[in-house]
């Protein structure tokens, strides 16, 4: 499965090179708008369509549902209207993998007059999806896909339409290495990834950062997201005697590693550290009693670390859904939706009740818009990096899924 997923992703990215990106030979004039990439035309009374794609099924559902809710609250606060048009929010389940991302992006790219797309929560999706959308001139605003390659200075033109309100894992990896070295006093570590752009790139950044701090990376291992028996891997790792085992993978594989590591002789004193995809009630369900004491390196999502409007947002979230946030990137999704609304307001032109939105103009306005967001300051650099990063580490304290509450279970233990 891992090899098939990687092959599919490789083909998708390789195919980008065959696509033609950038403006057509002649700009398009529609109504009062002239735009290099085309014009979205919304008739009087017709809806403005915004797409969304997040993982809405499987073990990582909380990650996507939480993000979707954040965007929904932003649209609700806008009256579910943009420029007087009703807002139509069309969302696809991207399954947090390359195959699902290809399917979701293809579906959304075919929706008539779709203005832009919010999401995904997963780098495995954003990596193949962004080029598909941008080929049609559709901007994508990522909400939790943090792979460094997506906003790298040398990213390909196929990603020119991609921005994200989340940080880059270059920052997360450096912070994770610092925590293991300076706080845990780890001298030797082993990393494990699952082949996804998120986990693979993050473990590389963390390993390099840890080495620069004077530590030793004994090995860099890989599993498939669907692997069940982790004993051979863990038995081999135990012989290396690492101070920490770092595995920023997704819920299903992480739970198996965590459960079986507790049973593996030689790992009793090894610190077990997960990553940003594991802030969810489903992690507790999947790992059971083994989750107690498990630490996840994560951005700081405590109220004091977020934007000024975050406390108000939390109350709106609880009122709307009857529970507190079920993962950690809801505020970034809210900010992505707000960023899009502000950009549309800047560039759209209305004539005779019909609204016209230039695709290139919208993309440029998204990059240029700055504001104080719910997650913190939002300001995009030249490569689409718009969010701010503050590091933290959280620890699970209870094996009852009903006790899940960010800040309590898991609770922030660093800084």
Please determine, for residue 5, whether its predicted confidence score (pLDDT) is greater than 50: no
Within 8 A by CB and 6+ apart from 355, the residues are 41, 42, 48, 83, 85, 348, 349
The candidate with the shortest Cα–Cα distance to 169, out of 22, 24, 298, 347, is: 298
Cα–Cα distance between 165 and 346 in angstroms, integer?
19
Please determine, for residue 6, whether its predicted confidence score (pLDDT) is greater than 90: no
pTM listed for this prediction:
0.92
Percent of the chain with pLDDT over 90: 93
pLDDT digits (tens, 9 = 90+) for 42-64: 999 999 999 999 999 999 999 99
Give residue 12's pLDDT band: very low, low, confident or very high (50, 70, 90).
Answer: very low
Give residue 372's pLDDT band: very low, low, confident or very high (50, 70, 90).
Answer: very high
The candidate with the shortest Cα–Cα distance to 56, out of 15, 91, 90, 98, is: 91
Please determine, for residue 14, whether its predicted confidence score (pLDDT) is greater than 90: no
Give residue 254's pLDDT band: very low, low, confident or very high (50, 70, 90).
Answer: very high
**116 and 336 Cβ atoms separated by less than 8 Å:** no
pLDDT digits (tens, 9 = 90+) for 129-158: 999 999 999 999 999 999 999 999 999 999
Domain span(s) for CATH 3.40.50.2300 in the chain: 2-6+33-169+308-390, 170-302+392-414
Please determine, for residue 312, whether its predicted confidence score (pLDDT) is greater than 90: yes
What is the model's pLDDT at position 27? 86
Tell me which DSSP letter residue 326 carries. Answer: S
Q: Stretch 298-305: mean pLDDT, rounded?
A: 94
Cα–Cα distance between 392 and 210 in angstroms, integer?
17
Q: Stretch 308-314: mean pLDDT, rounded?
A: 97
Tell me which DSSP letter residue 361 carries. Answer: H
Length of the chain counted residue by residue: 415
3-state per-residue secondary structure call for 75-137: HHHCCCEECCEEEEEEEEECCCCHHHHHHHHHHHHCCCCEEEEECCCCHHHHHHHHHHHHHCC
**294 and 406 Cβ atoms separated by less than 8 Å:** no
Query: Could you tell me the fold of the domain covering 2-6+33-169+308-390?
Result: Rossmann fold (3.40.50)
Please determine, for residue 351, whether its predicted confidence score (pLDDT) is greater than 50: yes
69: left (phi over 0), alpha (psi -120 to 50) or beta: alpha
- The architecture CATH gives domain 170-302+392-414: 3-Layer(aba) Sandwich (3.40)
What is the model's pLDDT at position 66? 98
């Amino acid at each position: 499965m891992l090899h098939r997923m990687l092959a599919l992703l490789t083909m998708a990215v390789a195919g980008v090179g065959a696509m033609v990106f950038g403006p057509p030979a002649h700009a398009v004039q529609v109504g009062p708008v002239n735009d290099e990439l085309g014009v979205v035309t919304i008739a009087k009374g017709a809806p403005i369509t915004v797409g969304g794609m997040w993982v809405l099924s499987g073990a990582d559902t909380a990650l996507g549902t939480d993000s979707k809710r954040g965007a929904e609250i932003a649209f609700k606060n806008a009256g579910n209207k943009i420029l007087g048009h009703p807002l139509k929010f069309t969302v696809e389940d991207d399954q947090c993998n390359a195959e699902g991302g290809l399917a979701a992006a293809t579906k959304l790219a075919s929706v008539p007059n779709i203005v832009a797309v919010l999401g995904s929560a997963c780098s495995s999706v954003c990596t193949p999806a962004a080029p598909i959308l941008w080929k049609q001139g559709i901007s994508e605003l990522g909400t939790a896909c943090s792979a460094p390659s997506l906003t790298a200075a040398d990213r390909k033109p196929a990603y020119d339409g991609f921005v994200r309100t989340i940080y880059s894992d270059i920052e997360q990896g450096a912070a994770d290495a610092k925590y293991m070295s300076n706080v845990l006093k780890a001298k030797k570590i082993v990393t494990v990834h699952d082949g996804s752009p998120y986990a693979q790139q993050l473990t590389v950044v963390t390993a390099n950062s840890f080495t620069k701090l004077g530590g030793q990376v004994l090995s860099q291992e890989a599993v498939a997201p669907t692997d069940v028996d982790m004993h051979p891997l863990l038995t081999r790792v135990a012989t290396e005697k690492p101070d920490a085992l770092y595995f920023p993978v997704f819920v299903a594989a992480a739970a198996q590693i965590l459960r079986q590591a507790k049973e593996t002789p030689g790992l009793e004193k090894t610190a077990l550290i997960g990553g940003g995809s594991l802030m969810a009630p489903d992690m507790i369900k999947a790992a059971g009693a083994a989750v107690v004491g498990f630490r996840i390196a994560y951005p700081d999502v405590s109220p004091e670390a977020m934007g000024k409007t975050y406390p108000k947002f939390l109350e709106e979230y609880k009122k709307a859904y009857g529970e507190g946030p079920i993962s950690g990137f809801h505020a970034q999704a809210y900010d992505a939706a707000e960023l899009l609304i502000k950009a549309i307001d800047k560039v759209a032109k209305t004539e005779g009740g019909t609204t016209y939105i230039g695709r290139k103009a919208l993309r440029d306005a998204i990059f240029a818009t700055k504001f104080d967001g719910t997650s913190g300051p939002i300001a995009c650099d030249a490569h689409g990096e718009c969010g701010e990063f503050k590091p933290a580490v959280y620890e699970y304290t209870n094996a009852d899924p009903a006790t899940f509450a960010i800040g309590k279970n898991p609770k922030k233990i660093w800084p």
